Amino acid sequence: MSDSPPLSYRYLRPEDIQRLGGFEYAPKLVVEGYLSGRHACRSRGASIEFHDYRSYSEGDDLATVDWRVFARTDRLYVKTFEQEADLECHVLLDSSASMGSGGEPGKLDFASFFAAALCYLVIRGRDRASLHLFDETLRHSMPSGSTRGHLHSLLNLLENNRPGGPTSIATSLRKLYPLIKRRGTLVVISDFYDDAGEIFSALSPYLHRGFRVHLFHVLTPLELKMDLEGFFTFLDAESGGKLVVRCEEMREPYTEAMGVHMQAMRQLAARRNVDYALARTDGSLFDLFDHFLR
């Protein structure tokens, strides 16, 4: 990519690329892939490296039993192996109406910047990235690719993306699952205005299949702190509903309710070994990479 003309898209500018030079996309999860690459892959076949022992379960291939360990210990253990393969990173970007609100930058813009940078890093590392836009359902799915041309397509898709209808993350996740052939990393960038239990229920197949899931919770400072004074009429970006409140009175119960939701997300994420991070639109998305790529 270094010999090609510099990229300049709305969500990936030359200065962004320059800053991303210090980052490398190296996810922690071991995934399977059939192209030889730099990543470890747990699958039988052309095993390259011994990975680990586990107890024998009825049905396991007897060829994988380590008889020497059995001779020593009189217990049955099977070996597991690693195989490097290409990593797929699936970016699921919330493009519902709620993502259209926020100051400057708006949430969708912020999320799009992050998604663009992430796709760039993945493809730069000769890995494959896919981009899926959703609101109440999957609106647009671009399958995995690792070429520069594919990156251009992703960036174009982001540029032409606009906030849509109401949010249904769980539905979108369920619709996406059959479209993803190989497990990899699933990055969900959303404001998560949906039921936490439903979301994680929809993530269960991914987790069971071995996806590494990252959740980036995009919120504006207003959504976090409700730091307005006086009476305001709040208009729901998705439903159009209205509520007149006095912000000073609402601040404490609102932040408490939002905190409860975020805490629920955090707890469910921790329980399911899902990575969860808060992405404030007034922060730097490069700080997110620090978190994500450590």
Partner 1 sequence: MNLFFLNGSWLPWIIAAAGVPVVIHLLARGRPPKITFSSLRFLLKADGARRRLRKPQDWLLLVLRTLLVMALILLFLRPILRDVQMQEAETPQARHVVLVVDATASMSAREGGRSRLATAAALAGQRLRDLPAGSTANVIWMRNRPDPIFPVLGPNLQSLQEALQSVDGSMETGLPDDAVAAAVSMLEKVTGVKEIVVFSDFQESTWKGVTLQTPGDIALRLVPVGESLIGNTAITRLTAEPASPLVNENVSVQAEVANFSAQPRKQTLYLDTPGGRQAMELNLEPWSTVPAVFRFRPEEAGALILTASLDEDELAGDNRRWAVLETSQSIPVAIVTANAEASPAREWAKALRALEWMDLSIYPNRESVPAATEVLFLADWDGNFGATQIPTIAALGPGTRMSPELRLELAREPWFVRVEKSDHPAFRVFADGRMGEPVEAAFKQRYAFSNGVGMPGSAVLAYQDGMPALWQSAEFPNLLIWNLDPDPATSSWASQPQFLTFLGELVATGRTREGRVSEGVPGQAATLALREGSLIGDYKFLEGEAPLPVEASPDGALLLAHSTGNPGVYTWNIENKSAARHVVNFSPEESDLRPLDREATMRVGGEILSSAQAIATTKDRELWPWILALVVLLLFCEMAAVHWIEKT
Which positions lie near partner 1, rule CB under 8 A? 98-99, 101-102, 107, 167, 191, 193, 220, 222-223, 228, 230-239, 241, 243-245, 249-250, 253-254, 256-258, 261
Q: Which residue, among 289, 288, 293, has the nearest Cα to 278 in the 3D structure?
A: 288
- 97 vs 187 by CB, closer to partner 1: 97
Contacts of 190 (CB under 8 A, 6+ apart): 92, 93, 94, 99, 111, 167, 169, 215, 216, 217, 218
- 56 vs 254 by CB, closer to partner 1: 254
CA angle 101, 130, 224 (to 5 degrees): 25
Q: Rounded CA gap, 120 and 174, in Å?
A: 26
Q: Return phi, psi of residue 189, to 5°.
A: -110, 115
Q: Please, what is the minimum distance in Å from the beta carbon of residue 252 to partner 1?
A: 8
Q: Which residue, among 80, 57, 76, 60, has the nearest Cα to 68 in the 3D structure?
A: 76
- 7 vs 245 by CB, closer to partner 1: 245
Contacts of 155 (CB under 8 A, 6+ apart): 7, 9, 10, 11, 12, 116, 119
Q: Please, what is the minimum distance in Å from the beta carbon of residue 200 to partner 1?
A: 17
Q: Please, what is the minimum distance in Å from the beta carbon of residue 76 to partner 1?
A: 52
Q: Please, what is the minimum distance in Å from the beta carbon of residue 133 to partner 1?
A: 17
Cβ pair 227, 255 in contact under 8 A: no
Q: Please, what is the minimum distance in Å from the beta carbon of residue 277 to partner 1?
A: 18
- 143 vs 166 by CB, closer to partner 1: 166
- 144 vs 167 by CB, closer to partner 1: 167
